[in-house]
Chain A
Amino acid sequence: MNALAFPILLPLFFVVLFILINSHQWARRVAIIGGTLMLGVSTYLFVQVLEQKVLVLNVGGWPAPFGISLVMDIFSGLMLLASSFIVFVITLYAHEFVRNKEVNKKFYLFFFALVMGVNGAFITGDVFNLYVWFEVMLMASFVMITMESSRHQLEGGIKYMALNLVGSLFFLAGLGLLYGKTGTLSMAHLAQLMNGGNPIQMMNLPTVLFFVAFGIKAAIFPLFFWLPSSYHTPGITVTSLFAGLLTKVGVYALIRFFTLFFVQDQEFWHTLLMILAGLTMVVGGMAASTHFETRRILSYHIISQIGYMIMGLAIYTPLAIAGAIFFTIHNMIAKTNTFLISGVINKLQGTYYLKNVGGLYRRQPFLAILFFIPAMALAGIPPLSGFFGKIMLVKAGFDSRDYLITAVAIYTGILTLYSMVKIWNEAFLKKDPDEHRKEPFQKAGWAEVLPSVLLGMASVAMGLFAAYVFEYTLEAANQLLDSSVYVEHVLKP
Chain B
Amino acid sequence: MEIILALLVGILYTAGVYMLLRRSILKFIIGIIFMSNATNLLVFLAGGLAAGKPAFTETAANAASETVADPVPQALVLTAIVIGLGIVVFTLALKFRFFQETGSDDLDQLQQTDN
A residues apposed to B, CB below 8 Å: 128, 131-132, 135, 138-139, 142-143, 146, 149-152, 154-159, 161-162, 165-166, 168-169, 172-173, 175-177, 179-181, 185, 228-230, 232-233
> Across the interface, do B46 and A179 meet the contact criterion of CB distance under 8 Å?
yes
Beyond the given A176-B46, A177-B46, please list 16 additional residue pairs across the A-B interface where CB-CB is below 8 A.
Answer: A128-B79, A151-B112, A154-B98, A154-B101, A155-B98, A155-B112, A162-B28, A166-B20, A169-B36, A175-B43, A176-B45, A176-B47, A179-B43, A179-B73, A185-B72, A230-B113
Point out the residues of chain A lying under 8 angstroms from B114, CB to CB: 228-229
Give A157 to B110 CA distance when docked, in angstroms: 11
> B25 within 8 Å of A by Cβ?
yes
Query: Which residues 35-66 of B have a CB within 8 angstroms of A?
Result: 35-36, 39-40, 42-48
Point out the residues of chain A lying under 8 angstroms from B48, CB to CB: 180
> Across the interface, do A151 and B101 meet the contact criterion of CB distance under 8 Å?
yes
> Across the interface, do B112 and A152 meet the contact criterion of CB distance under 8 Å?
yes
> Across the interface, do B113 and A165 meet the contact criterion of CB distance under 8 Å?
no
Give A128 to B75 CA distance when docked, in angstroms: 10
Point out the residues of chain A lying under 8 angstroms from B39, CB to CB: 169, 172-173, 176
> Across the interface, do A161 and B94 meet the contact criterion of CB distance under 8 Å?
yes
Q: Give 30 pairs: A residue, B residue, CB < 8 Å, sorted on A.
A: A131-B80, A132-B79, A138-B87, A139-B86, A139-B87, A142-B90, A154-B94, A154-B98, A155-B110, A155-B112, A156-B113, A158-B25, A158-B110, A161-B90, A161-B94, A166-B35, A168-B87, A172-B80, A175-B43, A176-B42, A176-B45, A176-B47, A176-B73, A179-B46, A179-B73, A180-B46, A181-B46, A229-B114, A232-B113, A233-B113
Chain B minimum-CB-distance residue to A129: B79
Chain B minimum-CB-distance residue to A136: B83
Choose from B42, B91, B94, B112 the contact partner of A173 (Cβ within 8 Å).
B42
> Across the interface, do A154 and B97 meet the contact criterion of CB distance under 8 Å?
yes
Given the known interface contacts A154-B98, A155-B110, A158-B98, the answer about A180 and B76 at a Cβ–Cβ threshold of 8 Å is no
Give A175 to B94 CA distance when docked, in angstroms: 28
> Across the interface, do A161 and B83 meet the contact criterion of CB distance under 8 Å?
no
> Across the interface, do A135 and B91 meet the contact criterion of CB distance under 8 Å?
no
> B32 within 8 Å of A by Cβ?
yes
Point out the residues of chain B lying under 8 angstroms from A146, CB to CB: 94, 97
Chain B minimum-CB-distance residue to A151: B101
Give A230 to B90 CA distance when docked, in angstroms: 17
Chain B minimum-CB-distance residue to A173: B39
Give A151 to B100 CA distance when docked, in angstroms: 10
Given the known interface contacts A158-B25, A176-B47, A179-B73, the answer about A169 and B113 at a Cβ–Cβ threshold of 8 Å is no
Chain B minimum-CB-distance residue to A230: B113
Given the known interface contacts A146-B97, A161-B91, the answer about A176 and B43 at a Cβ–Cβ threshold of 8 Å is yes
> Across the interface, do B110 and A159 meet the contact criterion of CB distance under 8 Å?
yes
Give A233 to B101 CA distance when docked, in angstroms: 16
Give A214 to B45 CA distance when docked, in angstroms: 23
> Across the interface, do B94 and A179 meet the contact criterion of CB distance under 8 Å?
no
Q: Shortest beta-carbon distance, A187 to chain B, in Å?
A: 15
> Across the interface, do A155 and B113 meet the contact criterion of CB distance under 8 Å?
yes
Q: Shortest beta-carbon distance, A168 to chain B, in Å?
A: 8
Chain A minimum-CB-distance residue to B110: A155
Chain A minimum-CB-distance residue to B99: A154
Q: Shortest beta-carbon distance, A124 to chain B, in Å?
A: 14
Point out the residues of chain A lying under 8 angstroms from B113, CB to CB: 152, 155-156, 159, 229-230, 232-233
- Output the residue of A152, A173, A228 with the most chain B CB within 10 A: A173
Given the known interface contacts A151-B101, A162-B28, A179-B47, the answer about A132 and B87 at a Cβ–Cβ threshold of 8 Å is no
Proximity bits, B74-115, A CB within 8 Å = 1, else 0:
001001100100110011001101100110000000101110
Point out the residues of chain B lying under 8 angstroms from A131, CB to CB: 80
Point out the residues of chain B lying under 8 angstroms from A151, CB to CB: 101-102, 112
Q: Shortest beta-carbon distance, A117 to chain B, in Å?
A: 12
- Output the residue of B35, B43, B101, B112 with the most chain A CB within 10 A: B43
Chain B minimum-CB-distance residue to A180: B46
Give A44 to B112 CA distance when docked, in angstroms: 46
Q: Shortest beta-carbon distance, A94 to chain B, in Å?
A: 23
Given the known interface contacts A155-B110, A175-B76, the answer about A132 and B94 at a Cβ–Cβ threshold of 8 Å is no
Chain A minimum-CB-distance residue to B73: A179
> Across the interface, do A128 and B76 meet the contact criterion of CB distance under 8 Å?
yes
Q: Shortest beta-carbon distance, B105 to chain A, in Å?
A: 11
Give A108 to B79 CA distance when docked, in angstroms: 26
> Across the interface, do B87 and A165 meet the contact criterion of CB distance under 8 Å?
yes
Q: Shortest beta-carbon distance, A184 to chain B, in Å?
A: 9
Q: Shortest beta-carbon distance, A68 to chain B, in Å?
A: 11
Give A161 to B42 CA distance when docked, in angstroms: 23
Point out the residues of chain B lying under 8 angstroms from A173, CB to CB: 39, 42-43
> Across the interface, do A149 and B43 meet the contact criterion of CB distance under 8 Å?
no
> Across the interface, do B42 and A179 meet the contact criterion of CB distance under 8 Å?
no
> Across the interface, do B110 and A179 meet the contact criterion of CB distance under 8 Å?
no
Give A146 to B39 CA distance when docked, in angstroms: 27
Q: Shortest beta-carbon distance, B4 to chain A, in Å?
A: 17
> Across the interface, do B46 and A135 meet the contact criterion of CB distance under 8 Å?
no
> Across the interface, do A139 and B90 meet the contact criterion of CB distance under 8 Å?
yes
Point out the residues of chain A lying under 8 angstroms from B110, CB to CB: 155, 158-159
Chain A minimum-CB-distance residue to B46: A180
Chain B minimum-CB-distance residue to A185: B72
Which 4 A-B pairs rank lowest in CB-CB distance, beginning with the nearest? Answer: A176-B43, A180-B46, A176-B46, A154-B98
- Output the residue of A132, A138, A146, A179 with the most chain B CB within 10 A: A179
> Across the interface, do A158 and B42 meet the contact criterion of CB distance under 8 Å?
no
Give A147 to B79 CA distance when docked, in angstroms: 27
